[in-house]
Amino acid sequence: VVMDEVHFLADKERGVVWEEILILLHQSVKIVALSATVSNVEDFGDWLRQVRGSCTFVIEEKRPVPLTQVIATSSELIPLISIEDTTKLNSKVSNLYKRNFTKSHSKSEVPDKSQLVDLLAKYKLLPSIYFIFSRKGCEQAVQILQKSNTRLTSPDERSEIEQLIRNRFDDIATTDWATLKIDDWIDCATRGFGSHHAGLIPQLKEITELLFQKGLMKVVFATETLAVGVNMPAKSVVLERMDKWNGDSHEYLTPAEFTQLTGRAGRRGIDTSGTAVIAFHPDSEPRFLLNLVSSRTFELLSTFTPRYNMLLNLLEHRNITATKVLLNKSFAQFSQEKSNSKMKSRIVEERKAIEGYTQKINCDKGDFKSYFDQVLQITRLERDQKSSKRDQSRQGRYELSELLSAGSVIRVKTAGKFQTGLVTKIIRERKGQESYWIVLENGDGKKFHLNEIDPIAGIISELVINRTTDFSKREARKQIATVLRSFGYQKPEKSKSEAESRLSVEELRSNIRKHPCHSCKDLYEHLRWAERKEKLVRSVDALEFNFNNSMMTLSNKCDEVLKLLKEINYIDIGEDKVILNRQANILREIHSDQDLLTAETIVHGLLDNLTVEEMPSVLSSFIYQPRRDEYEIPGNLSQKVRERAKDITILANQLINLEMKYKLEYVRLPHFGVAEQVRKWAQGESLQKVLKNSDLAPGDFVRVAKQVTDLLRQIAKLKIDPISQIARESVHRINRGVVAYEPTVFEDQESVLDNS
């Protein structure tokens, strides 16, 4: 079995399946795993040896086609890296960013899309993939080139394109051509440019790939989805920006993402080199660009977790012990155990160091701990005084921003009052601004800006954050919230004046001077060791917090899943054995990330008495995930679908609350945002009518409809009539037209694939 792009093990949606294959595939089957973005290959290889028995590394540092990085201005392409010293920026690039420090000068240097495409043609860097991290941006780019009358193809090439695409759209109803903008697509394709993103129907993406492979499509504006799983090597790759929107904020590309995107540049056997073109933007940080292109740190992290369906299928043929042994073979568990081992060793070492420091601060004059506690109290009071002064000026906030990092415990204002919070991530936004993702003591996680953080409190403490912790999860935030509440920060009362604060400091100083240890000849030596001890104690506390939180193994999670399933009467648990009930056997056959919610919907009769149009409409709610949260049930649903939507939402909330009890998080609320469109499609309506007055992209609708079809087929196989019969009939209603289309390998495409 060949597993190309094996780093998809880290993908939240697909990674679990990849890891299941590696663990469950029979030992007699050999595996070839390929990736250009795994730097912890030794760890991954050690795990494979443990799971599969043996592993051979084949590491190739040299790229088959060398890659050059350039900066594109409005008039030229400038090599990013110095020829004399490859660890340094090209001086011309440094000067470019220096002289464009002021916005008034920078606009003329920033290339627009037409200028950049002209540069690519001038430097003979076509065909090119032009990455823009939004579908809307891709379509706007195509429109810009169309309106500017850009032509990148010769008359002969245009003729060949017309021949290749002839009859490719015969299976698309003529009434849907306007909705899909087929005429515009053909016009742009014959001129040599187009777009490729998830909002397009499969036919358009497939023909774009074919034309690009044949060198007829010169420029394709694409989202990052094109970087994986599509055979479209290019002479150059363009990155318009070095940051992208992740749903909450703009984040810089990681080295792995940059490598994946630019990996398309350079066609083996055709080009002597590939070129990564980075569009100049004055907000970019040149040092960041240099670090990005030179970094080779692509650590592979596992997303494996035992889901309901997977666990029941394992337990069908194994006892509980054997199932846990299998789960603990995962790369997630292997990595965690290795990390825990290192963490435990460090805790032991630092505790020994603390004991040594304690010996160093033993004072013959008296109790040095009480003396040092007062010193710390003075330090905190003086820090509060300084923070109060800094609060009067913007400079104070800038200083705080310099100190803040992931792990900083701070005070933040939310809903009119201050809470203790933990900075989990610093977000670099447009124009060089920063915001902070903060987990609050009430368990919420939100984005805050610097002006919402209390500068008087400053940084209360520092915690070491486990980088694999997903703070979007309720349980992770809940655990942090418990720790944050323990800090018990008390903000000085507003009535307390600065003079009174100074008086407190003087009183403490007076007490210190009277303390027996103050006259010790080794006082400063003791203070130095006490400060080191204090810092190390904070470090150990943070390490132990992370260590304790990471001790929940996959077998522990297995226990929690089984407890939940037992509570809802899906299973009975005997001596090292699980007995599956009727409900469990339904769940075993549902292969979906919302497997439990789907099974519970069936068990509770919420699919009963639905028509062939209504059933797929209801099921779409388990699949559709909008870009924004849309939890309200739309008002355009039929009465019966609306009633079922309410019942299923109540059921989902009950399951979510039950999962919280067992520290699980798999079920999500259903979204009925495309339920009416799916119902209309099942009624036989045209795509034009289905998508009328909707923001839903044709490609998104097709993808949801295909997944609904798959779920219907699974329900049909359950043989629970009449719902299985309705599901079978619904498949034929949904799986038609653009939804039924399956990707094809054309004859002329096969030769391209053979020669690539």
Q: Going from the N-terminus, what domains does the chain have, and what CATH number goes with each?
A: 67-299 (3.40.50.300), 365-519 (2.30.30.140), 589-740 (1.10.3380.30)
Q: Give the pLDDT mean for 5-18.
A: 82
Residue with tokens 């036919």: 203
Q: Which are the contacts of 610, defined by CB distance < 8 A and separation ≥ 6?
A: 618, 640, 644, 723, 726
Q: Which of 503, 538, 502, 508 is nearest to 371 (CA)?
A: 508
User: Given the structure tokens 């597993």, which residue do they identify?
Assistant: 3
- Under the banding of pLDDT at 50, 70 and 90, the label for residue 585 is very high
Distance of alpha carbon 551 from alpha carbon 402, whole angstroms: 33
Residue of 172, 223, 166 whose CA lies nearest to 189: 166
| Lowest mean pLDDT segment, chosen from 507-511, 650-654, 700-704 | 507-511
| Helix%, strand%, coil% for the chain, nearest 5 | 50, 10, 35
Checking if the pLDDT of 139 tops 90, the result is yes
pLDDT confidence of residue 106: 52
Predicted confidence (pLDDT) at residue 46 exceeds the cutoff of 60: yes
pLDDT of residue 396: 53
Side chain identity at 407, as an amino acid letter?
G
Comparison of pLDDT for 591 and 101, the residue scoring more: 591
pLDDT given for residue 404 in this prediction: 84
Residue 490 burial class via C-beta count within 10 angstroms: exposed 0-12, middle 13-18, buried 19 and up: exposed
Rg (CA), the chain: 31
Distance of alpha carbon 239 from alpha carbon 256, whole angstroms: 14
Mean pLDDT of 632-645: 90
Please state, in angstroms and rounded to a whole number, the distance separating the CA atoms of residues 315 and 355.
49
Beta strands in 34-74 (DSSP E): 67-72
How much is the average pLDDT of 402-413?
A: 85
Residue 39 in contact with residue 247, Cβ under 8 Å?
A: no
Measured between alpha carbons, how far is 545 from 284 in angstroms, rounded to an integer?
37
DSSP letter (8 states) at residue 338: H
Using CA atoms of 650, 653, 655, 661 in order, give the dihedral in degrees to the nearest 10: -140
Tell me how far CA of residue 424 lies from CA of 144, 251, 253, in angstroms: 40, 14, 18
Contact 145, 185 (CB under 8 A): no
Instruction: At 615, list the tokens.
Output: 């059933």
In this structure, how many other beta carbons lie within 10 angstroms of the beta carbon of residue 427? Answer: 19
Most distant CA atoms of the chain, gap in Å: 97
Cβ distance 613 to 733 under 8 Å? yes
Q: What is the mean pLDDT of the chain?
A: 85
Q: Residue 681 has what pLDDT? A: 97
User: In whole angstroms, what is the distance from residue 256 CA to residue 421 CA?
Assistant: 30
- pLDDT at res. 479: 84
CA angle 609/613/615 to nearest 5° reads 50
The reported pLDDT for the residue numbered 7 is 85
Residue type, 640: K
- pLDDT band of 756, cuts 50, 70, 90: very low
Which stretch of 24-33, 124-133, 586-595, 613-622 has the lowest confidence by average pLDDT?
24-33
Q: Is the pLDDT of residue 5 over 90?
A: no
Question: What token pair was written down for 100?
Answer: 């464009």
630 token code pair: 């849309």
CB 452: neighbour CB atoms within 10 A? 18
- What is the number of other CB atoms lying within 10 angstroms of the CB of residue 626? 13
Q: Supply the pLDDT for residue 450.
A: 85
| Beta-carbon count within 10 A of 472 CB | 14
Kindly report the number of other CB atoms within 10 A of residue 174's CB atom.
Answer: 9
Does the pLDDT at position 205 exceed 60? Answer: yes
Name 602's Cβ contacts closer than 8 Å, sequence gap at least 6.
586, 715, 718, 720, 723
| Per-residue tokens: 455 | 């500068």
Residue 130: pLDDT over 90: yes
Average pLDDT over residues 698-726: 96
Neighbours of 493 (CB within 10 A): 7
Between CA 470 and CA 425 the distance in angstroms is 11
Distances (CA, A) of 48 to 281, 331, 468: 43, 8, 21
Cα angle at 368 between 532 and 521, to 5 degrees? Answer: 90
Determine the average pLDDT of the residues in 61-68. Answer: 87
Q: What is the pLDDT of residue 393?
A: 46
Residues with Cβ within 8 Å of 581's Cβ and at least 6 positions away in sequence, in order, are 569, 570, 571, 572
Yes or no: say if 603 and 583 are a contact pair by the CB < 8 Å rule: yes
The per-residue pLDDT for 728 is: 97
CA distance 739 to 723: 22
Q: What's the pLDDT band for 753 if we cut at 50, 70, 90?
A: very low
Q: How far apart are CA 312 and CA 509, in angstroms?
A: 67
Distance between CA atoms of 191 and 304, rounded to whole angstroms?
46
**What is the rounded distance in angstroms from the CA atom of residue 447 to the CA atom of residue 435?**
7
Residue 749 has pLDDT above 50, yes or no: no
Asked if residues 223 and 131 have their Cβ atoms less than 8 Å apart, the reply is: yes
CA distance 542 to 650: 39
pLDDT per position as a tens digit, 663-681: 898 999 999 999 999 999 9
Q: Is the per-residue pLDDT at 484 higher than 90?
A: no
Tell me the C-alpha distance between 461 and 515, whole Å: 28
> Looking at residue 596, what DSSP letter applies?
H
**Cα–Cα distances in angstroms (integers) from residue 462 to residues 205, 383, 541, 692, in the given order:** 49, 16, 10, 53
pLDDT-above-90 percentage for the chain: 40
Q: Which of 20-29, 370-379, 425-434 has the highest mean pLDDT?
A: 20-29
First to last CA, the chain: 21
Kindly state the average pLDDT of the residues 377-395: 63
Confidence of residue 2 (pLDDT cuts 50, 70, 90): very high
Other Cβ atoms less than 10 A from the Cβ of 692: the count is: 12
> Does residue 232 carry a pLDDT above 90?
no
What is the DSSP code (8-state) at residue 318?
Answer: S
> Computed from CA positions of residues 693, 696, 697, 700, in that sequence, does the dihedral angle turn out positive or negative?
negative
Query: What distance in Å separates the CA atoms of residue 433 and residue 446, rounded to the nearest whole number?
Result: 17
In this prediction, residues 144-166 reach a mean pLDDT of 94
Q: For the purposes of burial, counting CB atoms within 10 Å of the CB of 91, is it exposed (0-12), middle (13-18) or buried (19 or more)?
A: exposed
Q: In terms of pLDDT, which residue wins out, 429 or 255?
A: 255
Q: Residue 233 is encoded by which pair of tokens?
A: 């090597």
Q: Pick the residue with more confidence: 24 or 718?
A: 718
The yes-or-no verdict on residue 52 having pLDDT over 90 is no
Instruction: Look at residues 174, 555, 573, 172 and name the one whose alpha carbon lies nearest to residue 328.
Output: 555
Report whether 18 contacts 8 (CB < 8 A).
yes
Q: Is the pLDDT of residue 726 over 50?
A: yes
Can you tell me the distance from the alpha carbon of 479 to that of 460, in angstroms, rounded to the nearest whole number?
18
Distances in Å between the alpha carbon of 176 and those of 184, 694, 708?
13, 15, 21
Is 238 exposed, middle or buried, given 0-12, 13-18 or 19+ CB atoms closer than 10 A?
A: buried
Burial of 144 (0-12, 13-18, 19+ CB in 10 A): middle
CB contact set of 586 (below 8 Å; sequence gap of 6+): 599, 602, 603, 718, 720
Instruction: Report the half-sphere exposure of 688 (CA within 13 A, side-chain side).
Output: 10
Q: How many CB atoms lie within 10 A of CB 537?
A: 14
pLDDT above 70: percentage of residues in the chain: 89
Burial class from Cβ neighbours inside 10 Å (0-12, 13-18, 19+) for residue 623 reads: buried
